[in-house]
Structure formats: structure tokens, C-alpha cells
Structure 1
Amino acid sequence: MTTGTILITGASSGLGAEMARQFAALGYDLAITARRTERLDELAAEITGANADRKVITKALDVNDDEAVFSVFKEVAAEFGKLDRVIINAGLGKGAPLGTGRYDANRQTAMTNFVAALAQTEAAMEIFRAQKSGHLVMISSISALRGMRKTITTYAATKAGVAALAEGLINENVKAKGIDVSIIYPGYIRSEMNEKVAQNTKFMVDTVTGVKAMVDAIEKRKEKAYVPAWPWVPIGYALKNAPMSVVRKLF
């Protein structure tokens, strides 16, 4: 018996792919989306091979294509009959210090991580409001808690922006309408996005371990979660409250 249905964007690799594996193991049917459909198909075959009773829908989706976002989300909801959870995970880690001639990279990150996330949120919430139920999950970042420097300035700003979108829904009290909202703030979790980061980065955990912490928080429907809890709960507190001179030493 299925636990429910989940749509995950940006699921062809990294955190999205591992979330798909772990949620399938928990009993969920899945819709996984990304631009790279060949990798989606490989992941779907892997998941159904390990979980024969799971249904996995694959959809090609460039989240920067607004029309496609609304169309694909509606298609998935129709194919499943009901969409229980949407995880807004697709994103970019490109960036350069502001004013160094790489507006193109910073703009691309801003459009993918924030504007495209807005489209996904709109599409998901239309479905959830019509159903009078659902669980919106926004994948933010621990870097969203303060302004960050150099190459991650724009990235951190976009992740703060998507957290604010989700928090606005919490403030709206959509829970009273049957809709849960979770904001997940991952710390350093090894993924394709950060594969160029030094392997010995302090507090970095492997993908499976980090995603398990994310999945646990999502399953508990926590409104906000810093994951893994150690050391990111205390570091998160310090980030939000410490003087910027201290923040510079932490990040």
C-alpha cells in the first residue's frame, strides 16, 4: 500500500535523486523531474528494481519554463489522482562576487533558484488549495540565514528568498486549510552541486546521511529544520544572531 505521492524537482542527481530513493523505500509513489531525462529514467529503473510495487513517473522539466512548470505539475496530479507532497529542490550553485563582471552567472542562479521556485510554489499551491490538502517542502540552505560573501552572495540571497516565500504561507496559516509547509535548511551535504568544494570541508557529510536527516524532518512535517541537526542547529543560531565579524569566520 502506498504511503502517498510526491513530486520532486531537480531529481536527476544529488540531493533530489537520493530523496527519491529514500522516499520510495518509505513507500511513496514518485514523480521525478529534471532537464536530463536519461538520468531520470536510470533512477526510475533503479528505484522500481529495488521497490517493485512503487510507481515512478518521469517528466522532462526545465523549471525556468513557467508554462512547463504549471503543465507538468497538473499532469502529475492528474496521473496520480492526488498529489500529497511537492519538494521544490531544483537549483543552481553558480555565482561570483558582485561587481566582478559575472552578472550572467548571478542572474542565472537568481532566476533558477528564486523566480523558478516561485513558479513551482504557485503551481503546487494551486493544486493543494483545490485539494484542500498537501505538503509543500522548500529546500533552502543554511547560507540563507545571513548575507554571505563572494561567490555565494547571490546563491544565499536566493535561498533566503525562497525561505521567505514558504514562511509567508506559514504566516498565512495555510495549515488551517489542510496544507503543511516545511522549510529545510541543509548544511554541508556532499552533492553534485558542491563536488568542486574541498573534500575535507569541515562538517561535510555524505549524501545518504545528509538526505536521511532531510527526509526525517520532512516526514515529521517540521515547519523549519536545520539538517543534519548537529552541528547546524547551534551554527544556525550563531549565524542568525552573531555580529558579522563572527559570521565571516564561520563562512
Structure 2
Amino acid sequence: MRKNILITGASSGLGRGMAREFARLGCNLALCARRTERLDELKAELTAAHPGIHVALRALDVDDYDAVFRTFREFRDELGTLDRVIVNAGMGKGQPIGTGYFYANRQTAQTNFVSALAQCEAAVEIFREQNAGHLVTISSISAMRGMPRNLTTYAATKAGLAALTEGIRADLMRTPIKVTTIFPGYIRSEINEKVKKTPFMIDTETGCRALARAIEREPATACVPGWPWTPLAFLMRHLPLSVVSKMA
């Protein structure tokens, strides 16, 4: 079992939910996010419910790349090792291309890909030193194909993250370091709370429990929940784009 787990973007949504699930499994947690008051609340909740675990907190804006490397090392020093790093921090901003919202699409691209690259770099540096560890990146089912409208940039960043993670996996295949890409389906969280009437949407607690189970198996890739997203992912990759675009 991976005992010491770092989760970025842990103050809300899937990050917060996964922290609860891994605390329930008895893991020590290294939690970081921009909103430290919410991290303080989460730590109080988790240590009250699971007094045997250690919860370390840091404020971190993942767009501050130097801070990413510094924070990951501080967590490693505090816990002794980092056994798993979950690259979860991201954003869902985005507008159709060419409609005057380059600033929002650029911010999404920067946070979801370049900042994720910084997190992967920082994590794998530590894992190489330890000769052990498990890197997990949170992509999206939308990464399967190019998507229209507000999802165009978001889906592209998540596809890029999936390709990046696969390349890291290829590089580390003959080492003890494991690498996993998770493709969540529609799980209710703060990033999509305003989206209504979405098919196959599940609540945050159910989704995060499924995420934790999938991560614990340490597969190369996993769609979460497996049903219906594993077969739907296959269809998304092979159906005509005109059909896939209607799924957005």
C-alpha cells in the first residue's frame, strides 16, 4: 500500500473527495491548493475522523512553477517519502475558439498542461531519487477526441496531459516507478456544478470512491467509473466526429 500521498488541487472537488477516500484507507496526506482556509477545514475533518494519519498542508498555486518543485520537496521532507503523487489541480474555463476569449483559453492551457508538466517533473525527480513511487494524472474522458464549443481547449489540454503521461510511462517502464492516467467521466464537482441534465453524471462521493479504487489498482490507464465510460471511450475514439461532437 502507498502510505504517503500528495494531492494537488485538494481544497475542492475531486481532490477533496480523493483526500477523504485515502484518509479512510489510513494514508498520510500531503494536500496543497491556493485556498488554505479550505485545506485547514479538511485537515480538521480528516484528523478527527482518522486520528492515526498525518496530514501536511501547503498553499500552492501550480502556475508558480518554482513553488511546485519547492512544495513537493517540502512534503517529501516532512513525510519522509512520497509514495504517490496525484496531479489533479486544473480548471474548466474555456470558450469557442475565435470568439474573443483567448485569455481564458490560454489560462486553461497553461494550468491544465504546463503546470501539470511542472507537477510531473517535480514528482518524478523525487521518485527517481527514491527509485520508487506512483505518478497519477487526472485527465478527462473528453481527451478521447477533439471537442466543440467551450470544451475545445479543455479537451485538448487533457489529451496533451494523457500523451505526456504515456511518454513518462514509456520512459519508466523498466523501473519500479508506476505511472497511471485516469480518465474521469462525468463526476459532479465544483468545476461542473452549473452543468445541468448531463447523462451518466454521478455524485462526488461515489465518483471519488471509484477514483480511489482505480488508483489503488495502479493500472496504466483507467476510465472512471468503468461503466459506462470504458465502452463510451472506445466509441468516442472511433465514431465519426459529427457524432462525437453531439456528446459535448
Name the structure 1 match of 2:131: 132
TM-score norm. by structure 1 comes to 0.97
Deviation for aligned residue 1:243: 1.1
User: In the alignment, residue 32 of structure 1 is paired with which amino acid?
Assistant: L
Deviation for aligned residue 1:170: 1.6
Name the structure 1 match of 2:193: 195
Map Cα deviations across residues 70-116 of structure 1 (whole Å, 9 max, x no partner).
Answer: 00000001111111000000000000000000001000100100000
Name the structure 1 match of 2:32: 33
Name the structure 1 match of 2:69: 70
Name the structure 2 match of 1:183: 181
Map Cα deviations across residues 212-235 of structure 1 (whole Å, 9 max, x no partner).
Answer: 111111000011000101110111
Q: Distance in 2 between matches of 1:80 and 1:163?
A: 28
Deviation for aligned residue 1:175: 3.6
Name the structure 2 match of 1:87: 86
Q: Distance in 2 between matches of 1:162 and 1:201?
A: 24
**Contact 1:3 / 1:27 at 8 angstroms: preserved in 2?**
no
Q: How many residues align?
A: 248
Name the structure 2 match of 1:152: 151
What runs of 5+ residues in structure 2 fail to find an aligned partner?
Answer: none
Deviation for aligned residue 1:3: 5.2
Corresponding residue SS for 2:202: coil
**Contact 1:132 / 1:177 at 8 angstroms: preserved in 2?**
yes
TM-score norm. by structure 2 comes to 0.98
Name the structure 1 match of 2:245: 248
Q: Distance in 2 between matches of 1:18 and 1:163?
A: 22
Displaced runs of 4 or more, over 3 A: none
Q: Distance in 1 between matches of 2:178 and 2:143?
A: 21
The answer to whether the aligner puts 1:217 opposite 2:179 as a matched pair is no
Which residue, out of 228, 231, 237, partners 1:234?
231
Name the structure 2 match of 1:115: 114
Map Cα deviations across residues 129-164 of structure 1 (whole Å, 9 max, x no partner).
Answer: 010000000000000010000101000000001111
Give me the identity figure in percent: 60
Root-mean-square deviation over aligned CA pairs: 0.9
